[in-house]
């Protein structure tokens, strides 16, 4: 196999974008061989913007059974991700799945089991992991040169959406259609980066406000407090209603502080470990010297293209993925924990009680109302 | 009365500083006429650094009864503030009290009642209110031109203290000696500014960690989540263990955002109210234009001198104080709410149950241990 033959399932915003890129040959290790889309108009549209010998299918099943693909990219609404991924593994195909992997972790666990059983590659489209700033933060934190993490504050409130956005689809921002709001639609990347860089918290207490700023039934305002296994604490604040919003990720460690804001990564580095300094200095108010530097980050921010290329290479050459399917569980586990904590009004330990989460989610799905909308 | 005759009670760090300034005539409306200090060595020291005709007393009672003072500045350890203030009002003296007003709100309520009964002026030493940046934030928020507050995030983690600091006094960082840690000793100014600028929250859920980073019995790491009466939310994060710490106050309003960091106040101003924009734009992802400007702040940061001068003018001419005694209740109410929420592991509504707070505090005072220390 010289090139990975990829089929894209779902020709919405993301799926059509992936298909176009593959079709233009932007990822040399892969080629677009098929697409599927249940909406007839969209499928016809695809024929106008894609070139060459491509299979067009009305259903994912037909695409998978066509023999045209070695792998699929799943870019459908969230709820279908697990079902389609499992179907693909069962049919012997590799899967690259758009975020979130699913809506609850039990599903994603099953996806990973099926991937293992099938021996196929399961990658997650966590394209923010290709951002050189976050890569550098991950590298610096994991190298150990800055010591243990003490605190993380991420104010990520620049996900502004108007009411028109929510009114554009009857499934949008409903429990039945999306399974959540800003946590499940906008924040999976941030939550993935948080756990990738800082690790998984041991417990979470979150405060999610549903329909606070928009006429929607899911959360559009979240503040989450986290405690990590080593005792570090953290805060994650997000919303789709702040203008202008903020994207400021600050990580304090024993040897200093990393701040990522306005596309700049700044390192404040101590000459000495604070934990040692605290107990050895004779001066109550003194502080050791701090060296402040803007960290030059190298490499392209290849985003989706980079993730697709690494997926193709993983299949072809066995090289590592940018994010594998197990990572889909972690980020969703953290997102689910925030929802569950807010629903039960209490701190929840991780891993969460998945049955309780599903029970609570199902209550909300049962009460979910489809809205009168202007759009698709 | 051409000049207010002030006696300073307590010749520790803050008291001796106030006495020196008054003695040098830095506040034209006031003069230093007496000091008191229970530690004989400190009182002798005061005679070396103060000049002129000044009464030196071993006890606050003698100072107050001397007839040398119209007013007192109370700069003793926290627990003595209420008792001494009430004594002063009873003896017909005006009072300027160092922060915090007391350790629990019931005390401060009584202080204010005694002030009212006596008809004397009761001022609080909230000297950070003279900072032009915070004054400007207060002005901009209260003018209404930015609309209602939606969110406030204050990361105020630059209160670094080493173990040597805590070991420098047996009363330090003990429930019996101080009644709290970073909230009661370092943060009263920040908590006062928060409630002064943003108003009092309706409820608080805080997570206080006691002795997390130091060998102390009180809290040195706090994350508090707040909800305000209008639905705005907020986060307040503080510690004495982060190096380098952060002091970043961000307030998001309907018409934009104010960010105060690194001695710079930045205004991000929308051309249109976001609440209106959200429901009228037809575009799901668009954002109205934002004008970003660094706000020039005018006036001196007069700090303690400014507060003492305004106190003297309030007595002499009836002009307004920078912060009156009632403000001492607000900031302490908020600080007490954070403690209480963490102690009971639940959200608390404000005003808090003061009896429950005192009961919980008394449990901790009863179990409080004086430490073996190197110092005073």
pLDDT tens digits for B26-76? 999 999 999 999 999 999 999 999 999 999 999 999 999 999 999 999 999
Q: B interface mutation test: which of A163, A206, A243 has the most B CBs within 10 A?
A: A243
Residues of A in contact with B165 (CB under 8 A): 284-285
Query: Which residues of chain A lie closer than 8 angstroms to B288, CB-CB?
Result: 243
Distances from the Cα of B68 to the Cα of B15, B121, B307, angstroms: 18, 17, 22
pLDDT average, residue stretch B154-170: 95
Region of poorest pLDDT, from A44-53, A99-108, A237-246, B366-375: B366-375
Whether the predicted interface score ipTM is above 0.90: yes
Evaluate if residue B262 carries a pLDDT over 80: yes
Distance from CA of A274 to the nearest CA of B (A): 7
Strands A203-210 and A348-349: antiparallel
Q: Model pTM?
A: 0.94
pLDDT of residue A175: 95
The tens digit of pLDDT for each residue in A150-169 reads 999 999 999 999 999 999 98
Q: Are A161 and A310 in contact (CB under 8 A)?
A: no
Which residues in chain A have their CB less than 8 angstroms from residue B231's CB? 212
**HEC profile of chain B:** CCCEEEEEECCCHHHHHHHHHHHCCCCCCEEEEEEECCCHHHHHHHHHHCCCCCEEECCHHHHHHCCCCCEEEECCCCCHHHHHHHHHHHCCCEEEECCCCCCCHHHHHHHHHHHHHHCCCEEECCHHHHCHHHHHHHHHHHHCCCCCEEEEEEEECCCCCCHHHHHCCCCCCCCCCCCCCCCCCCCHHHHHHHHHHHCCCCEEEEEEEECCCCCCCCEEEEEEEEECCCCCEEEEEEECCCCCCCEEEEEEECCEEEEEECCEEEEEEECCCHHHHHHHCCCCCCCCCEEEEECCCCCCCCHHHHHHHHHHHHHHHCCCCCCEHHHHHHHHHHHHHHHHHHHHCCCEECCCCHHHHHHHHHHHHHHCCCCCCCCC
Report whether pLDDT(A333) > 90.
Answer: yes
Nearest to B243 among A241, A246, A274 (CB): A274
DSSP A339-370: HHHHHHTS-EESS--HHHHHHHHHHHHHH--P
pLDDT computed for residue B371 by the predictor = 44
Asked if B150 is an interface residue toward chain A (Cβ–Cβ < 8 A), one would say: yes
Is B131 part of the contact surface with chain A (CB cutoff 8 Å)?
Answer: no
**Chain A residue with minimal CA distance to B242?**
A252
Q: What is the pLDDT of residue B170?
A: 85
Tell the CATH superfamily of the A4-127+302-323 domain: NAD(P)-binding Rossmann-like Domain (3.40.50.720)
Q: How distant is the Cα of B334 from the closest Cα of chain A, in angstroms?
A: 19
CA distances to A269, A286, B162, B164, B173 from A282, rounded to whole Å, are 21, 9, 8, 5, 17
Q: Is the dihedral of CA B235, B240, B245, B248 positive or negative?
A: positive
A266 vs B246: CA distance, rounded Å = 13
Per-residue pLDDT of B297-351, as tens digits, reads 887 788 999 999 999 999 999 999 999 999 899 999 999 999 999 999 999 999 9
pLDDT confidence of residue A1 = 66
Whether residue A332 is predicted with pLDDT greater than 50 in this model: the reply is yes
- Mean pLDDT value of segment A29-41: 97
How far is it, in rounded angstroms, from Cα A24 to Cα A16?
12
Instruction: Please tell me whether residue A221 adopts helix, strand or coil conformation.
Output: strand
Q: What is the pLDDT of residues B82-91, one digit of tens each?
A: 999 999 999 9
Please write the tens of the pLDDT for every residue from B212-258. Answer: 999 999 999 999 999 999 999 999 999 999 999 999 999 999 999 99
- Residue A59's contacts (CB-CB under 8 Å, 6 or more residues apart) are A36, A38
- The closest of A27, A26, A376, A23 to A35, measured between CA atoms, is A23
Q: Which residue has the higher pLDDT, A373 or B287?
A: B287
CB contact under 8 A, B243 and A270: yes
pLDDT band, very low/low/confident/very high, at B370 (cuts 50, 70, 90): low
With pLDDT > 70 as the criterion, what percentage of chain A qualifies?
A: 98
Residue B298 confidence (pLDDT):
80
Q: Which residue of B has its CA nearest to A285?
A: B161
> Over the stretch A302-317, which tens digit does the pLDDT of each residue have?
899 999 999 999 999 9
Residue A144 scores a pLDDT above 80: yes
Q: Smallest CA–CA separation between B348 and chain A, in Å?
A: 13
What are the sequence ranges of the domains in chain B? Answer: 4-127+302-323, 129-299+331-366
Contacts of A285 in chain B (CB under 8 A): 160-162, 165
Chain A residues in contact with B281 by the CB 8 A cut-off are 162, 164
- The alpha carbon of residue A225 is apart from the nearest alpha carbon of chain B, in Å, by 8
Strands of the A219-227 sheet, one edge to the other: A290-294, A264-270, A256-261, A247-253, A149-156, A233-239, A219-227, A203-210, A348-349
pLDDT tens for each residue of B66-112? 999 999 999 998 899 999 999 999 999 999 999 999 999 999 999 99
- Measured between beta carbons, the chain A residues lying within 8 angstroms of B260 are none
Predicted local confidence at residue B373, as pLDDT: 37
Distance CA(B172)–CA(B214), nearest Å, equals 12
Q: How many CB pairs under 8 A join A and B?
A: 142
Cβ–Cβ gap B233/A209 under 8 Å: yes
Residue A376: pLDDT above 60? no
Give the per-residue pLDDT at B329: 94
Calculate the average pLDDT of chain B: 95
What's the confidence (pLDDT) of residue A130?
Answer: 93
Cβ atoms of residues A108 and A328 within 8 Å: yes
Q: Does domain A129-299+331-366 have CATH number 3.30.360.10?
A: yes
Whether B372 shows a pLDDT value over 60: the answer reads: no
Residue A301: pLDDT band with limits 50, 70, 90: confident
């Amino acid at each position: 196999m010289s090139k990975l033959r990829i089929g894209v399932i779902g020709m919405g915003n993301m799926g059509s974008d992936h298909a176009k890129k593959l079709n233009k040959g932007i990822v040399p290790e892969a080629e677009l061989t098929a697409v599927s889309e249940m909406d007839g108009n969209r499928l016809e549209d695809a024929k106008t913007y894609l070139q060459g010998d491509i299979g067009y299918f009305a259903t994912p099943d037909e695409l998978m059974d066509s023999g045209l693909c070695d792998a699929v990219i799943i870019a459908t609404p969230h709820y279908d991700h697990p079902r389609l991924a499992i179907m693909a593994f069962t049919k012997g195909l590799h899967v690259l799945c758009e975020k979130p992997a699913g809506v609850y972790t039990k599903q994603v666990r099953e996806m990973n089991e099926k991937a293992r059983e099938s021996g196929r590659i399961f990658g997650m489209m966590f394209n923010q992991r290709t951002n050189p700033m976050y890569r550098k933060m991950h590298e610096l934190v994991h190298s150990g040169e800055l010591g243990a993490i003490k605190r993380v504050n991420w104010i990520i409130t620049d996900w502004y959406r108007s009411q028109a956005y929510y009114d554009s689809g009857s499934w949008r921002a409903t429990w039945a259609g999306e399974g959540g709001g800003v946590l499940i639609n906008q924040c999976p990347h941030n939550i993935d980066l948080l756990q990738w860089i800082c690790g998984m918290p041991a417990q979470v207490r979150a405060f999610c406000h549903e329909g606070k700023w928009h006429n929607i039934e899911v959360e559009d305002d979240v503040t989450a407090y986290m405690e990590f296994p080593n005792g570090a604490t953290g805060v994650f604040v997000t919303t789709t209603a702040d203008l202008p919003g903020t994207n400021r990720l600050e990580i304090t460690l024993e040897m200093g502080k990393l701040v990522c804001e306005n596309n700049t990564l700044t390192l404040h580095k101590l000459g000495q470990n604070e934990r040692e300094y605290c107990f050895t200095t004779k001066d109550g108010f003194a502080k050791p010297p701090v060296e402040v530097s803007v960290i030059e980050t190298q490499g392209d921010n290849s985003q989706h293209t980079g993730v697709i290329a690494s997926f193709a290479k993983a299949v072809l050459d066995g090289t590592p993925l940018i994010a594998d399917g197990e990572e889909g569980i972690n980020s969703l586990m953290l997102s689910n924990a925030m929802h569950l904590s807010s629903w039960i009004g209490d701190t929840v330990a991780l891993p969460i009680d998945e049955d309780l989460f599903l029970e609570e989610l199902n209550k909300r799905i049962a009460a979910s109302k489809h809205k009168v909308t202007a759009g698709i």
